[in-house]
Amino acid sequence: MAPGVEPLLVKVGGSLGGAPEILDELAGYRGRLVLVHGGGPQIGAHLEALGFATRFVGGERVTPPEQLEAVEAVLTRLGKALAHGLSVRGRPAVAVSGRDAAFLRARAEARLGRVGRVEAVDSRLILRLLEAGYAPVVTPIAVDDAGALNVNADLAAAAVAGALAWPAVFFTDVVGVLEDPADPESRYPVLRRAQAEALIERGTIAGGMIPKVRAAFAALAAGSPWAAIARGEPGVLSRLRSGEAGTRLIL
């Protein structure tokens, strides 16, 4: 890794992360890197193929115990594929689950089934992999005393970034937080927490952008020096750090 280049934790969606140009961008980053991935569309398709109904409460997937094995299998495959994609591009990567060494501990949200909120991160496994020259690719499965828990990938990324005290970048399919969703030029380059909450109340920030914004602020509250939301595309990491791309969030 190049000296003086700050480390980054990057959260990608399952489908976005598998895009060749995004893997090229991540593999080419010269600082230390941790990736956290989601996989909502792939999970939904797999559950449907198995004959399971998918239900959401407040925008969050309900994971009954009988569906957890299938959810974990999909996420594990995605993590392995992303790690392989980075490795063949010259960036050795290892896929790990929060169950490995129980490094993600969570509290179950009963209303959502086997879904958890991360309460503790033991970063030793991640740090060992980084010291050995690997980029960890984190699958958002945590544990409690009863077993595995499905964790929202944005919130898992926030928890890990905070524990490492690293910047957190949340990739999405839009250029950042927008005043007008139809106008990419209305991007907010910087957004404070109070301002963001007002935009949520007003409906300007809506849908899937709400959990990303709140996860970014959660990362800051947990110890990240900065957090940002940006479209995953070639060149975005350098432009993000210079302020030319994405939305940087500050408390």
CATH classification code of 8-175+209-243: 3.40.1160.10
Tokens of 127: 């740090």
In 10 A of CB 1, how many CB atoms?
13
List all residues 6 or more positions away from 46 whose beta carbon is below 8 Å from its beta carbon.
70, 73, 74
Residue 207: what pLDDT?
83
Residue 12: what pLDDT?
94
Residue 17: what pLDDT?
60
Picking from 144, 137, 249, the residue whose alpha carbon sits closest to that of residue 187 is 249
Residues assigned a catalytic role: 11, 14, 40, 154, 212
Residue 38: what pLDDT?
93
pTM, 2 dp: 0.94
**What's the CA angle centered on 66, arms 61 and 67, to 5 degrees?**
40
d(CA 167, CA 11): 11
Q: Which residues of the chain fall below pLDDT 50?
A: none
Q: Identify the residue whose tokens are 């910087």.
A: 190
Domain edges within the chain: 8-175+209-243
